[in-house]
């Protein structure tokens, strides 16, 4: 079981090569938030719920 998120799937993020896979969704979110902070200079603590929903919808997993 693994969950994957590709940053380029997010609208407007197409050139970003960031892609993360983790065993749990909680860990995957850690990667996504750190990536957003370091690479995109965004503060994940300021993301509104609909931002998180958009990301959540793009997470693939089995």
Q: Please name the residue ranges forming H helices in 1-62.
A: 25-39, 49-58
Rounded to whole angstroms, the Cα distance separating 24 from 61 reads 9
Minimum CB–partner distance for residue 59 and Zn ion (Å)? 14
Query: With CB under 5 A, what is the number of residues at the site for Zn ion?
Result: 3
Find, among 24, 42, 44, the residue nearest to 4 by Cα: 24
Minimum CB–partner distance for residue 36 and Zn ion (Å)? 7
Q: Quick check: helix, strand or coil at residue 23?
A: coil
Kindly tell me which of 1 and 15 has the beta carbon lying closer to Zn ion.
15
Contact set for Zn ion, span 1-60 (CB under 5 A) = 7, 16, 18
Which residues contact Zn ion (rule: CB under 5 A)? 7, 16, 18
């Amino acid at each position: 079981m693994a969950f994957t998120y590709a940053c380029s799937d997010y609208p407007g993020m197409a050139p970003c090569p960031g892609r993360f896979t983790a065993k749990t969704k909680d860990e995957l979110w850690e990667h996504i938030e750190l990536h957003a902070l370091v690479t995109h200079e965004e503060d994940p603590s300021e993301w509104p719920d609909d931002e998180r929903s958009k990301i959540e919808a793009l997470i693939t997993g089995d």
